[in-house]
Chain A
Amino acid sequence: MPNDAKKIDGGMGAPKAHDSAHLHVSGEATYTDDVLESHGCLHAYVLKSPHAHAKITKIDISDCYVPGVHAVMMAKDIPGVNDAAPVFPGDPIFADGVVLYYGQCILGVAAESIEIARAAVKRAVVTYETLPAILNVHDAIKAQKFVGDPYEMGQGDAAGAIAKAKNKIKGSLDIGGQDHFYLEGQIAMATPLENGEFHCWSSTQHPSEVQHLIAKMLNLHDHAVTVEVRRMGGGFGGKESQASLIACVASALAWKTNRPVKFRLDRDDDMIMTGKRHDLNVAYEVGFNDEGLIEGIEYIHAVNCGMSPDLSNAIADRAMFHADNVYYLGNAKVTSYRCFTNKVSNTAFRGFGGPQGMLAMEYVIDDIARHLGKDPQDVRKINLYDAKGELGDRCTTHYGMTVEDNIIRDIFSQLEHTGEYAARREAIKTFNAQNKILKKGIALTPVKFGISFTLTMLNQAGALVHVYKDGTVQLNHGGTEMGQGLHTKVCQVVADMFQIDFDKVRITATNTSKVPNTSATAASSGADLNGKAAEAAARTIRDRLADFAASHFDTEISAVKFAAGYVHAGSHTVSFKELVQLAYAARVQLSSTGFYKTPKIAWDRPKGKGRPFYYFAYGAAITEVIIDTLTGEYNILRADILHDAGQSLNPAIDIGQVEGGYVQGVGWLTSEELWWNDKGELKTHAPSTYKIPTGRDVPKDFRTVLFEGINPEETIYRSKAVGEPPLMLGISAFLALRDAVAATGAANCIPPLQAPATPENVLKAIQAVQK
């Protein structure tokens, strides 16, 4: 039927619903645990270390073989490399002679049911010789135990500038970790195939790496292993490197038994066995003038990496990259220690170190303002990076990159206005003067987040597009869907390229046999990289179709236009479907790959200088809170967010990322407290003890707006990455709480609030300023 509409449904920029939304609400969306199990599928369970550090002196598995058990495996049974580490070695699949953290996997059992597997694991007899454990960063630094070399970034003479400055503050901030708490726990199901091949369903953000690690473990080539993921029930970085262990255990047992094996971690095992956001201590010293202008600053990051490198070095680097947030630091030195501890290896988590680096910076700004008795917003404004060329060189970061796209001033002025910052600040003063038990606080904090993998090599992506004879399109790319709406956005890109409706494009499960050598879906880069790769693939086919149309309808190629379901070629108009059928008959190739690599980036790590990021994404949030000074409990009353997603590919999805990121950031800095006992055992390993925000924790008055802008760089649709940056908007809630605490103390007091700001930590800070 001819279509009079000028626009297709669901092109770039349309607020299209998630491509699986109708499956989510009906329960039909298939997650790895929902994939139909093949006949004979076994279930895996593992023995976890009861010690943080111990030598394994003996393993006796003779009693494990109860009826229904098909295999028991440990380190010595792995045919290839016993390591599930992403970059640097150190993450044994099964512990080999020594355990390095509480919960480390020692042996695995495959049995006909999970109950049998569990019972069998209980029958293993392992003896240990316990060893002293390092459980915090301070002890690690004392013992000089690191998972990577200490690293420094900086410019000018920080110490000299601080020494000369009129005002100085020295301080320290403990920043807690965070569990990902994806609703779907880690899971994989591996199936042995003919000719030594394996197929593995894995809930992973990085199928290529899982593929490679399974192959390495089984002494196979990469071409023998296929890894597939349709969707994850949340990832947040937790399934970037650490899904590999789960997939390796399942695959090892599948190899051993020659049967399909499923390994699904229940919530407790998931939280005990997999890494978290890095907790760290930031020590800082800052020198500044009477206006609050920073003249010199030194940071020491002591990063708790856990027992192996995992991705910690890149994460600790990013904490350093964001030690400036949106401010020109001048003379600055950032030193980072990548501390080894006998804890589970900490890993990627939305923001990848950025949040910790940025929180410390905002804490310092807050310190300066309180010291000088100024509104923190005034101190923020005078320290901002200048727009390029505006004022001398106040636009070069401490790692030598010029900030070219700074829009934070515009964001500030718009948000201060719409968020009624000044008026609310005054109202809060009045409220606090009238109330002795309840106090309010407010904070406005900005975000500037660098977009690109800082390991330049990873900034590449591939896609595969097929056009079928009926005019529908199947699309595949290297990115994975974890809820962020990546597949929806990439479908929109392809629909737009061909000018066909969104529902004519279908995306299928991410599969290493379709697009090879992919990077992890991480660093917020999913849509930037894969959108461009899919665009390239679609463009190749569209160009072929245009060429064909020009010759078929005997017109100039410039006269061929794809628009709203139709193709116009000079005076001829056919539907997209008709053109495809004609092209097929004329033997035009209707399938293509596409490839993209991010331009402009170059990072010289040994020198600590370069342009690690293609561009920055910006945003800011105002949060207003109220606290109960008797108990330290609090509520968030209102949050106003203005966030920069460039020209949004899908504003509905982007708003979802912004709001969800904010709430997750608030959770990190408020109720989400990880608690280990003095033996290194995690005691908050389920939602009964680990408290992520619920509906009532969300600000009652919650106003989120996307900043009207366009990415000056040539990204897909001139959009900006939006996965990670909004998480750091949650910092405003932490500083609003600190502001409320300050209202209970003397003027110019600096509350020593530590993160997370649990009610207990808030009360502690209140007691400290009242002393």
Chain B
Amino acid sequence: MSDSIRFILNGKLVEVADLPPTTTLLQYLRLEARLTGTKEGCAEGDCGACTVAVGKLVKGKVEYQSMNACILFLPTLDGREVVTVEHLKSATGAPTPVQQAMVKCHGSQCGFCTPGFVMALSTMVNNKQNASEDDIQDAIAGNLCRCTGYRPIVDAARMANESAERALPSHPKELASIQRNRLMTYDVAGGKYFSPASVEDLAMVLSVYPDATILAGGTDVGLWVTKFHMGLPVIIYTGNVVELRQIRESRVLLEIGAAVTYTEAFDALAAFDPSMEDLLKRFSSLHIRNAGTVGGNIANGSPIGDGPPPLIALGAKVVLRSKSGTRMVEMEDFFIAYKKQDRKAGEFVEKLVIPKRPDNVLFRVYKLSKRFDQDISAVCGAFALTIEDDEIVAARIAFGGMAGTPHRAHKAERALVGRVWNEEAVEKAMAALDDDYQPMSDARASAEYRSTTARNLLKRFYIETTDPTTKTRLYRYAE
């Protein structure tokens, strides 16, 4: 017996019982609900023309986040509240402050990206009092505009920010009535979809369908459907598994459940180092961080994911679970080869365990890409040196974008251990990096650029940890 998908769309309860589970929210909005204000600009979560607000019931209140409707599978909205641009209205029926500000500031030209910006800013205004300039840029980092040059949109954000009216409409009571807290089974002609509520259920379903696609935030899996037009006959969604949604912290360890989103894990991860916070900001747009999970970023095994390099350098471990129990592997060992991970049939990533950084560990992570926001790394490098009595006693260096998997630079590490952290040591290690990695050339960067900058990032690490007066960073640069 199949459950139906139930969610609140623009204030009304919607039930879907026949669409394939890979139907995206955007397809549903445009083709089924005929709400055409939400646009398709890229179908990969990179342009924001499809931005909507997705609300979750938290302690009796609806908490909204901006998300890309183009890569959200419809069943993942079960038990959620969705607001699209058509539903924005002030209490008086007039346009909302965000809409009015966008008109007043001339924030639209062709208008195609505008509903997405309006939703991104409406969610920001709903969630934040006194958003800072950085908050504004963050809120729209996932929205592309090709006409205005953004200045008037940022002006509109500031203007709307000053308004007292800030709530997105919400229906907590109705939403409460459609929460399941149990395994959801959506089984239709177009495919099977399971959304377990506990790790036991997840392990059980996965043991029955060991070849199922495990879906977390969908920021990668979504593209398998929208870009590669793959069929996904069986999907198991981890986003409602209570145990996978937890962050636990002790004095020495940080544990992040595999289905915790980057937005939820932001503060805990940023606490490792200011450079980690910079990375998380550049990691992806806010809309993607609101959906994408820490576990998914690891489990999909991408050679260019930005999670693995810093986590490997910090000595993180991956906890895998199946019906027959759990096991723990070093994250660096989890990545076996290009797109091949140490995950057996029936296993799923349960959580990541990250040791806290002792004071004597120098740590930095740096990302390089053509564009600051919402770009995939050409190179991502992370460095952790343990120093005792001026001597390097341990070194962990990991890079993404330099090989088929993110992995450690053992030769460079060996060149450092036992030495004093000085210019000679760093130069030896820089040279050794060339033996550690033979990167390739592609659309993001040439092999030469990757090799050169990998060395230079190590140099930057050296400069920043030995000569803090030297300015090395553009992002934190202030006159």
Contact = CB atoms under 8 A, between A and B. Distances in A.
A267 B137 CA distance: 25
B459 interface: yes
A29 interface: yes
A637 B141 CA distance: 18
Contacts of A675: 442-443
Interface stretch (A180-188, A248-256, A318-326, A609-617): A180-188
Contacts of B477: 438, 626, 635
Nearest to A660: B149
A664 interface: yes
Nearest to A427: B479
Contacts of A25: 85, 95, 98-100, 102-103, 107-108, 114-115, 118
A686 interface: yes
A59 to B, nearest CB: 22
A438 B472 contact: yes
A656 interface: yes
Interface string B140-161: 1101111111111110000000
A26 B85 contact: yes
A267 B472 contact: no
A652 interface: yes
Interface stretch (A504-512, A691-699, A707-715): A691-699
A482 B147 CA distance: 10
A482 B136 CA distance: 27
Interface string A173-198: 00000001111110000000000000
Interface stretch (B35-43, B235-243, B306-314, B391-399): B35-43
Interface in A438-493: 438, 482-485
A763 interface: yes
Interface in A620-675: 626-628, 630-635, 637, 652-653, 655-656, 659-664, 671, 673, 675
Interface string B91-118: 0000100111011101111111111001
A67 interface: no
Nearest to B375: A691
A687 interface: yes
Q: For the complex, would chain A's binding face be called helix, strand, loop or mixed by DSSP majority?
A: loop
A630 B140 CA distance: 29
Contacts of A663: 148-150
B106 A653 contact: yes
B227 interface: yes
Contacts of B184: none
A23 B111 contact: yes
A233 interface: yes
Nearest to B463: A437
A464 B375 CA distance: 47
Contacts of A632: 449, 453
B265 to A, nearest CB: 22
A234 B146 CA distance: 8
Contacts of A572: none
A733 to B, nearest CB: 12
B47 A691 contact: no
A324 B369 CA distance: 35
Contact of B37 (A28, A485, A626): A28
A579 to B, nearest CB: 32
Contacts of B115: 24-25, 27
A356 to B, nearest CB: 20
Interface stretch (A14-22, A380-388, A414-422): A14-22
A738 interface: no
A634 B475 CA distance: 9
Contact of A267 (B44, B111, B449): B44
B251 interface: no
B214 interface: no
Most B CB contacts (10 A, CB to CB) among A630, A632, A689 go to: A630
B208 interface: no
Nearest to B88: A26
A50 to B, nearest CB: 15
A759 interface: yes
Interface string A228-264: 0001111110000000000000000000000000000
A681 B445 CA distance: 16
Interface string B413-456: 00000000000000000000000000000111110010011001
Contacts of A18: 106, 108-109, 111
Given A27-B36, A28-B37, A236 B146 contact: yes
A634 B371 CA distance: 9
B46 interface: yes
Nearest to A638: B479
A698 B149 contact: yes
Contacts of A429: none
A720 interface: no
A391 B131 CA distance: 57
Contacts of B473: 628
A698 B36 contact: no
Contacts of A115: 229
B150 A763 contact: no
B109 A483 contact: yes
A482 to B, nearest CB: 6
Q: Which of B95, B100, B114 has the most CB of A within 10 A?
A: B114
B453 A763 contact: yes
B66 interface: no
B370 interface: yes
Contacts of B475: 635
Given A702-B151, A763-B453, A22 B111 contact: no
Contact of B472 (A630, A635, A661): A630
Given A663-B150, A694-B374, A683 B106 contact: no
Nearest to A667: B146
Interface string B461-479: 0010000001111110101
A34 interface: yes
Nearest to A118: B229
Contacts of B370: 671, 673, 691, 758-759
Contacts of A20: 108, 111
Interface centre among A30, A635, A662, A696 (most CB of B within 10 A): A696
A21 B102 contact: yes
Contacts of A413: none
B8 interface: no
B85 A233 contact: no
24 contacts: A20-B108, A21-B108, A22-B103, A25-B108, A26-B37, A26-B88, A27-B36, A28-B37, A31-B39, A183-B39, A183-B41, A183-B110, A235-B110, A483-B110, A483-B112, A632-B449, A635-B474, A653-B106, A664-B149, A671-B370, A675-B443, A688-B46, A691-B375, A763-B452
Given A25-B114, A483-B109, A671-B371, 14 more contacts: A17-B106, A22-B103, A26-B86, A29-B114, A33-B36, A438-B471, A631-B457, A684-B443, A686-B42, A694-B140, A704-B151, A758-B370, A759-B378, A760-B445
